[in-house]
Amino acid sequence: MDLHPVVYIIDNDPASRESLVNMVAAMGFAPVAFHSLDEYVATLDASRHGCVILSLHAPAAAGLDALEALTLLPIPMPIIVVTDCNAVPPAVRAMQLGVEAYLQKHCFSETTLWESVHAAFARDAVQRAAYHRRQELIARLHELSPRERQVLEMLVQGCDHRQISDDLNVSRRTVENRRARIMQKFGADTFPQLIAIAIELGLPSTTSGSAGG
């Protein structure tokens, strides 16, 4: 897996695309250019690290669909928008979509772009770590037996061991043993840590009842 971050440039204008490539390369980053969103998506793989510079030409609103599509990818990278359009609505929409920076061509400095790329790289590292952590937790969830999954869901709902024992018609020792196996499979050192993991995975929970016991 390539661990070196790359600046992926999407720009359908050849001259503008070359200019961005040269600028990014001069800053010491590794640029890879695409003429369209489709070309970029066609080469996607999970090993990509870095950020995307999306060039939006006037009217910028016409490129917002591409921007939104980038944010919906399985592992979206931070996006820096550069545009020659000074209209306000596209800028507002871009910020709502969570772009790292929205820069107007002929106005931003190389320092601004350099700082934006570095911030995007840092954000990408955080997002990617969170994504891989969640994938690992999902894999561990799938390792639970149906009965262990049932106990976990009841614990998250606030049921204590007595309630679980009564509802499942098993002994409290059985409930305790299943809980211990669940904690071991998730690598949870404490019960609150286990509940936090379960909630992070989106397991059903209620505010009633008390956990533990």
> 212 lies in a domain?
no
- Chain centroid to Cα 36, Å, comes to 23
Please report whether residue 213 resides in a domain: no
Torsion sign (Cα): 190, 196, 202, 207: positive
- Which pLDDT value is given to residue 211? 39
Say if residue 109 is in the same domain as residue 153: no
CA distance 31 to 205: 45
Whether the per-residue pLDDT at 213 is higher than 60: the answer is no
Q: Is 16 inside a domain boundary?
A: yes
Asked if 104 and 164 sit in the same domain, the reply is: no
**Position 20, amino acid:** L
Predicted confidence at residue 33, as pLDDT, reads 97
pLDDT tier for residue 205 given thresholds of 50, 70 and 90: low
Rounded to an integer, what distance in angstroms lies between the CA atom of residue 155 and that of residue 212?
8
Range of the domain at 14: 6-134
Predicted confidence (pLDDT) at residue 189 exceeds the cutoff of 50: yes
Q: What CATH code is carried by the domain that includes residue 47? A: 3.40.50.2300
Whether 18 and 114 share a structural domain: yes
Q: How confident is the model at residue 139 (pLDDT cuts 50, 70, 90)?
A: very high
Say yes or no: 34 and 91 in one domain. Answer: yes
Do both 165 and 105 map to the same domain? no
Same domain? For 33 and 100 the reply is: yes
Asked if 21 contacts 9 with a C-beta cutoff of 8 angstroms, the reply is yes
Tell me the helices (H) and strands (E) count for the chain, helix number first: 9, 5
Same domain, 82 and 43: yes
- Say yes or no: 187 and 152 in one domain: yes
Q: Is the pLDDT of residue 131 over 90?
A: no
Residue 121 lies in a domain: yes
Domain-located, residue 1: no
Q: Is the pLDDT of residue 209 over 60?
A: no
What is the helix (H) or strand (E) element at residue 142, kind and residue range? helix 110-143
**Between these two residues, 209 and 30, which has the higher pLDDT value?**
30
- The CATH number of whichever domain residue 164 belongs to comes to 1.10.10.10
The tokens describing 164, both together, are 């679980």
210 pLDDT higher than 60: no
Q: What CA–CA distance (Å, rounded) separates 75 from 90? A: 24
Last residue of a domain, one of 108, 134, 160: 134
Among the residue ranges 32-36, 49-53, 60-64, 130-134, the one predicted with the least confidence is: 60-64
Q: In what order do the strands lie in the sheet with 50-56?
A: 31-34, 6-10, 50-56, 79-83, 101-104
**What mean pLDDT comes out for the span 196-205?**
85
Q: What is the pTM of this model?
A: 0.73
Q: How far apart are CA 55 and CA 60, in angstroms?
A: 9
* 73 and 160 housed in the same domain: no
206 part of a folded domain: no
Q: Is 9 helix (H, G, I), strand (E, B) or coil?
A: strand
Give the chain's domain count: 2
% pLDDT > 90, the chain: 72
- Tell which of 87, 115, 134 closes a domain: 134
In a domain, 165, yes or no: yes
User: How many whole angstroms separate alpha carbon 41 and alpha carbon 19?
Assistant: 22
Same domain, 97 and 185: no
Among 35-49, 94-108, 170-184, name the one with the lowest average pLDDT.
35-49
Same domain, 46 and 130: yes
Is the pLDDT at 4 greater than 50? The verdict is yes
